Structure 1
């Protein structure tokens, strides 16, 4: 007899991080409109169980590494890229916190505190998600302008970058404002048991089809179409503008530059550009699968049925992949940012 692994005690709400549908709480009378439980294939249960175990490990490790990145970057802020990376790490920390609040119900049960926090966690998750994406776009765009200048010069100071970071967070807040009125914690009657339970569900004003379609395409434009196109173009531009011959031509315009100094500057410029190329490539690689399956399920439900267990299993798997990228940020910073590496080692030496 084969062992049956259930993601949760009742498998009627198997999404680890709930998608923004009619309800966010993993308990009746909330329903995700999924097929019956007896249609669940064995590989779906194995995949979901793996994601159920892997998600808290990955999110916890990513949270710890981002905290370390914030501590290091806060000690070494001296140029615009450090400020941008600090803002990105803060946005990632808050994104992980909000996502953990949404997923905690599967591990700690639908406690009333978690239910009341779910509407705000879903709203703030979008806020910090948008902020993180566009901070990555803005720092890469500033880097493209820097390496495209005819002379080696600093186009943006650390203070100016801080203003841009604040503006990006403000724009992200404005973009996610509708989410703050989309869900609310209410008491609902479970028809199966005739008991009332506290659940977080959509408000009447946002449960309309027109609102859901309009906001779906808005979110896809902000998080998928526009930033990914810009990231692809900027990755190509950075790769072309950080060739050694191009960087040498830029730095030869500076008088009294010795060969040793020139080589060091060229190496630092190339490393910082490679850092941003890797961050953009990693984000696209880890985000495209989840965004694509949501897009296909919305446009062609006959191909990918959003109510099928097949969709749930891949949604959970791509959610784990999405959060896995944040666990690699510290490694990328350490390998491609010399000042970050020096500050991190000095911080450990002080602790020892």
Structure 2
């Protein structure tokens, strides 16, 4: 029987991003009932309202097709009705956008690609090469800096795009799915760079499909569904708003589930029970006293238990409760 609790991949969200969140950061960009349609007329944003605050890391969570990428592209552009910008990010040089599929000149080396982009931003050739070298090293590409970018894997291209983005030191950094293609060391490097960018007083908006990363490394998280922002708050506050509690999943042998007709009411520590094929998922106040009581409860119903897992509440749980939609991708 497996009673182990999954290890955390970082600090507790309740003790992390909210405590580190910006205090009193004024809006750099404010979207007010922002609407946008694709060239074929289909709507992408349907009255999205959301502020991007100075000095914060703002995460966007939502299924595919919810409007996250469109919102980031509009933040990167100019003259969009419904977007009000502060003077700090009024110019194109104040913003840097990394798309979900970054493109480089395949015949140039990684260092050359990075240096060219930094020169186009205004750096001198010597400064651009120095910054490119430094940031390629920080993102683990020092040994591959002289290789042609066309030979890079998708993960290496992602690291190259992120190295250039942080080297640019824009006041507002916009990252579309920066975790895509990154291995665990790459994610750790991204988290470190995000923290350093924030310590310099700069702002990052990133979209992601990983609620665990957003919970630890974003100061606020916005839930985007159908082109609207359904909720935005620090991660711990989102969980507090919906009262999400730890969950215990008890799985049964196929031949021996509990007899629901003879099963007594759940013990006092169980707030709710959701029955699924071959399992029951219990929402509990505290797993420590609730776990033995829950096991004794299902065993009294004649069940044969094969596994027990305890899972802490996540932003995916809060997303489902607040939006009524699962966070998983629902289509392009």
- Report which of the two has the higher share of helix: 1
Give the TM-score range, shorter chain. Answer: under 0.3
Length-normalised TM-score, structure 2: 0.25
Length-normalised TM-score, structure 1: 0.24
- Report which of the two has the higher share of strand: 2
